[in-house]
Amino acid sequence: MSTDSTPLDPKTAAAGSAVPGAATPTAHTFQVDLRGLVDLLSHHLYSSPRVYLRELLQNAVDAISARRAADPSAPARITVRADGDLTVTDTGIGITEADVHTFLATIGRSSKRTADGGLDNSGLAAARSDFIGQFGIGLLACFVVADEITVVSRSAKSPDAPVVEWRGHSDGRYTITTLPASAKPEPGTTVHLTPRPDATRWTRHDQVVELARHYGSLLRHEVTVTDARGTATRIDAPAPWDVRHGSPLARREALTAYCRDTFDFTPLDTIELDLPLVGLRGAAYVLPDAAPPSRRAGHRVHLKGMLVSDQADDLLPDWAFFVRCVVDADGLRPTASREGLYADETLAAVREACGARIRDWLTGLSASDPALLHRFIGVHHLAVKALARYDDELLRMLLPWLPFETTDGNVTLDEFARAHPVILVARTVEEFRQVAPIAGAAGLGVVNGGYTYDSDLVHRLPEIRPGTSVADLDPGTVTAHLDTVDPSAELAAAAFLATAREVVGRFDCDVALRSFHPASAPALLLDNREARHERTRARLADEADGLWADILGSLRAEVPRAQLVLNHLNPLVRRAATIPGKELAVIAAEALYGQAVLLTRRPLTAGESALLNRSFLGLLDHAMLGRDAADPQKES
Ligand SMILES: Nc1ncnc2c1ncn2[C@@H]1O[C@H](COP(=O)(O)OP(=O)(O)OP(=O)(O)O)[C@@H](O)[C@H]1O
């Protein structure tokens, strides 16, 4: 094989030389080290040597398409013979000696497009969209498994042209021989290769059958693989969506069976895809188990029947992670590796149209099959929530079905709104966990907004259900709903409360005494993430100087304080409130604050860790002092 580039014209090059007195440039042509190129393809472009068979099948398909464009009644057969060596024979358009010189002798040149990348209306090419190949490198994939490729071809376009044999070698040498007509009585092409000793597994009969099925099961031509004894195995089978079935149920069952065979799962439901504009047909299978949104379902994409990718992840919008598709399309384009889809406008349009189809299925389900919708939401509510955030109609339609974690348990927002005139939203899971039991006991309705999408969705409720009211949960709201204690109790605890305010004031925290259930909870720390960030920003502004202090200072809002609410119903708090000595009161206040911080399950600051440490050791010391005092032996 040679490379093909236009050598520089010495005259033009000299005229373009800007340096006076410079020597006239000499023109050269790049040489290509074919072994290096094959190495590049095999290790970096193609995922595995097995793609060699895909490239051969694809060339055969393209050749048949080209022949049938002129003669629709031409035979359309691809026969693969795997008997140690491998031959692929097609009844396609074939090539003449001139074609060989033009297309097989130059890497990167393809009969399926013109040299300038456009469409070639002559010869083999009718339009690029008719063919899968276009890059002119596919045949090189054979060098990944063999050192020599032989192509014997007879042209259907020029039946009188002699049969031509091209023998290409992986070091770049090739020969061309013309053969008598008897060497190939019918038009078409046979490609033959003998595997290298380290690649014999790829041309073994069983392996070839498996590969041919993998890539070619949906090909629209007859494809067979024969073994050394001539036994033929049929590879192609009609796509289940193309088969006519006796009833919708039979069709449904056939599509489900195809999913089981192809993906190894039984779908929750099947959504048929049919986009005539891009010649796309197929099925989107709803996964029976929840899939994390981050895990993209690998879709199987066939182009003109040929499998391009079984891991395509850009066929559907991101939110549709609850389905896995198998499609066959005419209008999409493969990348050069043929293992992915070319990201062009057509792909974007396909993505949008498939997304719309899946969304329609979802919205239609509430009317057509509520039980299925229930099961679907049970498994995929995260996906639905992701989708509903940007889709009012869907949100309106599916809101009655979506579960949220609330102080009344797992309920829908509609139910919850009926029971609570104001829905409060806890912004983090920790906040919810900590406040929910207390807020619930005080009759407040709180939704856990800490899960992905939930806070956004709950806040949109008043748009969807006018008359409902939603507010963020803030410490003030909760404290306002906790019972105040009577003034005498407040007075009796005044000294302890003053000490506690001193102790926790360092953490931008106030102290209040209230009565709330459960009585077993001694203290509650009301705080939220934004308030914590605000405090951190304020502290940094104080510590920073110059420009940063100004910037941080200008961002600074009024610093919100956390609130430590002590529970007067709790016996320990009652006893702490009457501690006479200041030293023990400090330790008790530190311990109550430390325990309340731990219950929030948020990370501790360095100051809080030190406080916990101090109070723990202080309590231990105090406990041992008490023991010593009670031990008569120690006294003597
Ligand atoms: N079975 C075949 N029948 C007729 N012509 C063929 C056949 N196989 C290969 N050719 C010719 O050889 C050329 C080069 O083939 P090759 O597979 O390298 O590239 P391609 O199919 O054009 O593009 P791609 O790299 O995208 O596959 C083709 O453009 C075609 O003209």
Ligand 1 near 451 CB (within 6 A): no
103 lines ligand 1 (CB under 6 A): yes
Across the range 534-543, mean pLDDT stands at 68
| Residue 357: predicted pLDDT | 95
Choose among 38, 217, 72, 49: nearest CA to 140: 38
Q: What is the pLDDT of residue 634?
A: 53
Check residues 631 and 226 and name the one with the higher pLDDT.
226
Same domain, residue pair 314 and 229:
no
Mean pLDDT of 388-400: 83
Mean pLDDT score of the chain, rounded to an integer? 85
Q: What is the CATH number of the domain that holds 320?
A: 3.30.230.80
Residue 544: which pLDDT band, with cuts at 50, 70 and 90? low
Quote the pLDDT of residue 17.
52
> Looking at the predicted structure, is the pLDDT value of residue 8 above 90?
no
User: Residue 145 falls within a domain, yes or no?
Assistant: yes
Average of pLDDT values for 538-558?
Answer: 62
**310 vs 54: CA distance, rounded Å:** 13
- Please indicate, yes or no, whether residues 306 and 164 belong to a single structural domain of this protein: no
Q: Ligand 1 atom 9: the closest Cα is on which residue?
A: 59
State the distance from the centre of ligand 1 to the C-alpha of 109, rounded, in angstroms.
9
| Of residues 543 and 333, more confidently modeled | 333
Average pLDDT over residues 331-358: 85
Where is the domain boundary, 330, 352, 371?
Answer: 371
**CB of residue 303 inside a 6 A radius of ligand 1:** no
489 and 608 both lie in a single domain: yes
The reported pLDDT for the residue numbered 381 is 87
Q: Is the pLDDT of residue 117 over 70?
A: no
pLDDT, residue 34, reads 75
- Give the separation between CA 202 and CA 211, rounded to whole angstroms: 9
Asked whether residue 490 falls in the same domain as residue 441, the answer is no
Q: Tokens in use for 4?
A: 């093909």
Is 70 inside any structural domain? yes
Structure-model confidence comparison of residues 17 and 505, the more confident one: 505
Instruction: Grade residue 447 by pLDDT with cuts at 50, 70 and 90.
Output: very high
**233 or 434: whose pLDDT is higher?**
233
Is residue 121 scored above 70 in pLDDT? Answer: no
Q: How many CB atoms lie within 10 A of CB 162?
A: 17
- The ipTM value here is 0.96
Q: Which of 269, 231, 234 is nearest to 253 (CA)?
A: 269
Q: Are both 52 and 157 inside the same structural domain? A: yes
Residues 358, 434, single domain; the answer is no
Query: How many residues does the structure list for the chain?
Result: 636
Percent of the chain with pLDDT over 70: 85
Give the residue whose CA is nearest to atom 30 of ligand 1. Answer: 111
The mean-pLDDT minimum among 47-56, 71-80, 266-275, 387-396 falls in 387-396
Q: How confident is the model at residue 548 (pLDDT cuts 50, 70, 90)?
A: low
Using a 6 Å cutoff on CB, does residue 263 contact ligand 1? no
> What is residue 18's predicted lDDT score, i.e. its pLDDT?
58
Is the beta carbon of 89 within 6 A of some atom in ligand 1? no
Residue 516 neighbours by CB under 8 Å, 6+ apart? 438, 441, 442, 482, 483, 524, 565, 567, 569
Tell the burial category of 599 from Cβ atoms under 10 Å away from its Cβ (0-12, 13-18, 19+): middle
The mean per-residue pLDDT over the stretch 154-182 comes to 90
Counting ligand 1 atoms within 8 A of each CB, the residue from 104, 122, 139 with the most, and so the one to mutate, is 139
Identify the pLDDT of residue 625. Answer: 84
Please tell me the distance between residue 219's alpha carbon and the centre of ligand 1 in angstroms: 18
Both 192 and 51 in one domain: the answer is yes
d(CA 233, ligand 1 centre) in Å: 25
pLDDT band at 550 (very low <50, low <70, confident <90, very high): low
How far CA 385 is from CA of 365, 376, 397, 398, 463, in Å, comes to 16, 12, 12, 9, 16
Last residue of a domain, which of 479, 500, 530?
A: 479
On the question of pLDDT at 304 being above 50, the answer is yes
The verdict on 120 and 221 lying in the same domain is: yes
What separation in Å is there between the alpha carbon of 56 and the centre of ligand 1? Answer: 9
- The answer, yes or no, to whether any atom of ligand 1 lies below 6 A from the CB of 142, is no
Tell me: pLDDT of 68 over 60.
yes
Q: How many CA atoms lie within 13 A of 590 on its CB side?
A: 20
Using alpha carbons only, how large is the chain's radius of gyration in Å? 38
Residue 488 has pLDDT above 80, yes or no: yes
Closest atom of ligand 1 to 132 CA is: 26
Identify which of 404, 587, 433 has the alpha carbon closest to the alpha carbon of residue 524.
Answer: 433
pLDDT digits (tens, 9 = 90+) for 251-276: 999 999 999 999 999 999 999 999 99
Residue-level pLDDT at 7: 40
- Res. 531 pLDDT band, cuts 50 70 90: low
**What pLDDT does 22 receive?**
76
- At 213-224, the pLDDT tens digits run 999 999 999 999
- Give residues with Cβ within 8 angstroms of 576, minimum separation 6: 496, 566, 585, 588, 589, 592
88 CA: nearest ligand 1 atom: 1
Region 324-333 average pLDDT: 91
Q: Is 100 in the pocket of ligand 1 (CB under 6 A)?
A: no
What per-residue confidence (pLDDT) applies to 553?
56
CA of 311 to the centre of ligand 1 (A): 25
Cβ count near 152 (within 10 Å):
21
pLDDT exceeds cutoff 70 at 16: no
Judgement on whether residues 163 and 41 belong to the same structural domain of the protein: yes
Could you tell me the pLDDT band of residue 514, with boundaries at 50, 70 and 90? very high
Distance 139 CA to ligand 1 centre (A): 7
Amino acid at 159: P
The CA–CA distances, whole Å, from 598 to 111, 523, 528, 537 equal 72, 11, 14, 23
Q: Give yes or no: residues 281 and 217 share one domain.
A: no
Q: State which ligand 1 atom lies nearest to the alpha carbon of 92.
A: 3
Establish whether residue 149 lines the binding site of ligand 1, counting it when its CB lies within 6 angstroms of any ligand atom: no
Q: Is 78 in the pocket of ligand 1 (CB under 6 A)?
A: no
- Structure letter (DSSP) for residue 332: -
Best of 103, 124, 128, 176 for a ligand 1 pocket test (most atoms within 8 Å of beta carbon):
103
User: In ligand 1, which atom is closest to the CA atom of 124?
Assistant: 31
Q: Per-residue pLDDT averaged across 304-313, rounded?
A: 90
Q: How many domains does the structure of the chain reveal?
A: 4
Say whether both 88 and 228 belong to one domain.
Answer: yes
Q: Is residue 300 part of a domain?
A: yes
DSSP assignment of 487-538 equals HHHHHHTHHHHHHHHHHHHTTTEEEEEEE-S-TT--EEEE--HHHHHHHHHH
- With a 6 A CB cut-off, is 133 part of the ligand 1 pocket? yes
Q: What pLDDT sits at residue 47? A: 72
Q: Is residue 178 part of a domain?
A: yes
Q: Whose CA is nearest to atom 8 of ligand 1?
A: 59
Q: Whole domain around residue 181: which residue ranges?
A: 36-234
Is the CB of 138 inside a 6 Å radius of any atom of ligand 1? yes
For 306-449, strand residue ranges (E) read: 306-312, 323-329, 403-406, 409-412, 422-426, 445-448
Same-domain status, 88 and 160:
yes
430 class by beta-carbon count within 10 Å (0-12 exposed, 13-18 middle, 19+ buried)? middle
Least confident of 19-33, 437-451, 506-520: 19-33
pLDDT for res 581: 87
Question: Predicted confidence band at 295 (pLDDT cuts at 50, 70, 90)?
Answer: low
CATH number, domain with residue 407: 3.40.50.11260
Q: Which atom of ligand 1 is nearest to the CA of 338?
A: 26
